Structure 1
Amino acid sequence: MALWRVVAWTVASKESRVRAFPVDLPSAVRYWTVVDDELCVVPVADQWLRFLRFGRSRTELTTRSYASGVAFYFRWCRATGRRWEEAAADMGLFMVWLRYSPSRLGVENPTVVWGPGTKPVRGERRVNGVLAAVRGLLSYAVSVGEAPRSVLGQLYELADSRDLPEEAKGEETGLYYRLRARHRLQEPQAEVDRASDEELVGLFLACRSARDRLVVLLHSRVGLRRGQVAGLRRSDCHLLPDSRALGCDVEGAHVHVRRRANANRAWSKSKRAWVQPLDFLVVQGFDQYVDERLEKLGAGGSDFLLVNLFREPLGAPMSPAAMGELFDRLSKRAKLGRKVGPHMARRAFGSNVVDAGGSWDEVQMLLGQEHPGSVAPYVIPDHSRVREAVERVPSPRELSRRGEG
């Protein structure tokens, strides 16, 4: 308990409240927990979040999001005098409080009128994210005997497969049952977009160093996530046509994408390791970056591929957050008119593979996706290709002429 007290007091605000809080372990692995008014961890929340981080191999960002969500729930329980183990029966009231409560701490202000009819302070997606975290916490609490089993019936309703669309049933042919969340807001349709080729060229030309150009290439022509890019080690990169001298039997230039616990908190979302081939443009980007790095740092330095070259601490690995900040700066410098992020570049890669004639199983392998169905959000075909597909469909008149002939 003392460990978290030592960490927590250094950033504690003057106003005491239940909050999410990061915990750095001696192994350099970080996860997020929940601390109460006395800056002590909430035991059941901490157990669940550690289970997610280490038992389920979830990312640090996942535990951060879930910790923030359950902190809202504990604040609401305290503000309304409810016991967290039994408050699931009033989850609808919690949703109203969460959606409209204007206070940052969630403590009701009697001089402020808020509720349905006033402007919401949290969107549907945020509310649903908090509800998912609360359901996960309470389900875990039931499994370890910290909450009554009746809570599950207050969180979920039993549904069967008859109301599912055909494409969601998969290979299941018979009737089967599933749990469906009782409390969820309808979210507006979110637009998923890719970076255009013109935008990617603009980002590339706006770079002022070989390192930044390589970062753009690794997202847009290799399709890696920013956590995977930041987690690459120099030993992962095999750029020679024949890598047998390195103890690798894979032919051609490639990188090995692996999940590790990294000091810069980079994390590969994919649990499995795979080999990602590189084209000649990316290999050229590597060559130019190696020369730049040697000029700045010499032959030594960290084994991380991408490191600080222009600010202190020199040689320290770039973080995933630094990748996003770089794309923001490049978007402004290139005057693109919108922010083009690393994930938009990843979608562009998947889409370009399909536009070039690649199959979905190839895209699945290149993106490191575990399931074929998860490829769909990354494939946004070029509009010209969609129009060409429509124009290839013969008209009824053409079909009748063929029949006459």
Structure 2
Amino acid sequence: MWWVPACGCLRWCAATGNVAPEVASVLSEPQFLQYTPKGFNEGEDGQFRRVNARVLKAAEIELPPAVLLTGQAERILSAAGTARDRFLLMLFLGTGLRIGEALGLRREDMHFLPDSQHLGCQIAGAHVHVRPRQNNSNGARAKSGRHRHVPAEKGVANAYRDHLVERDGAEQASGCDFVFVNLASRHVGLPMSYSNAKQIIERIGDRCGFRARPHMMRHTAATAWIRAGVDPDVVQTLLGHVSAASTAVYLHASDDDLRAAVALVAAAGGSR
């Protein structure tokens, strides 16, 4: 009986993308065939009528994730009150990092020079290292549990530079190696928490007049890559997805895509 609640939990995890579909495919339970073909050999005590059937089935993706609409990204960046908040938003939008991955970053993970060989890194160009750490004092975790790097564009690197200038103005932050720290209140100099980062982004969204959440920035980055024609396998690697099924949520066609497809065929004389 122990597997009943466990399967219920895993069914939810598979539906929300927290468990790879491969897990669901190997879980099974014995079921008794109600109908059999004519002449079917049931075996002794009907043993051949018992077959293994899958317990879990990955839910089909019905709705695309919420993303920032045209112009909203620029508005939310402009509404950021500090260089730190602007860099946090640009990092989400430019690299697609999860909030736990961003809050767990250390200064040693930020390689924003054209050549990082002097740091012992052979990866060319500006990039961010996402390293799974279990000892983050703010509880930040890299979900995938695997090390990866994500390229970063010049705008992200410039925003990081501005953030460091602002960060150095808080003396209490000098001894903290976390990239994102609190800049005010009694927690100044300590690593930012999930709730703090979430509240900051929500408040910025409220000032702009629309809903904003940390994961929405990640969805926006992934959707933009797909819309730009980036191969889904590349997007999967950038996002750190273990399974391609997690990336498939971004493959939904938009209303504009549907209208453009119909208009394209009509213009070519294919609609009669």
- TM-score scaled to structure 2, two decimals? 0.75
The residue that corresponds to 1:347 in the other structure is 219
Residue of 204, 228, 237 corresponding to 1:356: 228
Q: Which amino acid aligns with 1:238?
A: H
* 1:332 CA drift (Å): 0.8
* 1:193 CA drift (Å): 2.0
Structure showing greater relative contact order (alpha-carbon pairs closer than 8 Å, 6 or more residues apart):
2
The residue that corresponds to 1:246 in the other structure is 119
Residue of 235, 238, 245 corresponding to 2:108: 235
* 1:321 CA drift (Å): 2.3
* 1:209 CA drift (Å): 0.2
Q: Which amino acid aligns with 1:321?
A: S
The residue that corresponds to 2:55 in the other structure is 180
SS at match of 1:255: strand
Matched, 1:322 2:199: no
SS at match of 2:209: coil
The residue that corresponds to 1:132 in the other structure is 9
The residue that corresponds to 1:366 in the other structure is 238
Matched, 1:287 2:164: no
CA distance in 1, matches of 2:190, 2:70: 31
1:269–1:390 Cα change, 3 Å: farther
SS at match of 2:150: strand
Q: Deviations over 1:279-312 (max 9, x none)?
A: 0110111011011111223882211100011222
Q: Deviations over 1:344-373 (max 9, x none)?
A: 111110111122221111111111111222
Q: Which amino acid aligns with 2:215?
A: H
- Number of corresponding residues: 238
The residue that corresponds to 1:390 in the other structure is 262
CA distance in 1, matches of 2:184, 2:130: 26
SS at match of 1:221: helix
Q: Which structure would you say has the larger Rg?
A: 1
Q: Which amino acid aligns with 2:236?
A: Q
Alignment of 1:252-271 (within 5 A): 252-261=125-134, 262-271=136-145
CA distance in 1, matches of 2:32, 2:180: 49
* 1:205 CA drift (Å): 1.4
SS at match of 2:115: coil
Alignment of 1:3-402 (within 5 A): 131-132=8-9, 158=31, 177-180=52-55, 192-261=65-134, 262-297=136-171, 300-336=174-210, 339-380=211-252, 383-394=255-266, 397-398=269-270
Q: Unaligned 5+ residue runs, structure 2?
A: 14-27, 34-50
CA distance in 1, matches of 2:7, 2:75: 37
Contact 1:355 1:382 in 2 (8 A): no
SS at match of 2:149: strand
Q: Which amino acid aligns with 1:390?
A: V
CA distance in 2, matches of 1:374, 1:330: 28
The percentage of counterpart residues that share the same residue type is 31
Contact 1:156 1:179 in 2 (8 A): yes
CA distance in 1, matches of 2:116, 2:32: 53
Q: Unaligned 5+ residue runs, structure 1?
A: 1-84, 92-128, 137-154, 161-175, 401-405
Contact 1:238 1:253 in 2 (8 A): yes
CA distance in 1, matches of 2:190, 2:173: 14
* 1:192 CA drift (Å): 3.0
Aligned CA-pair RMSD: 3.5
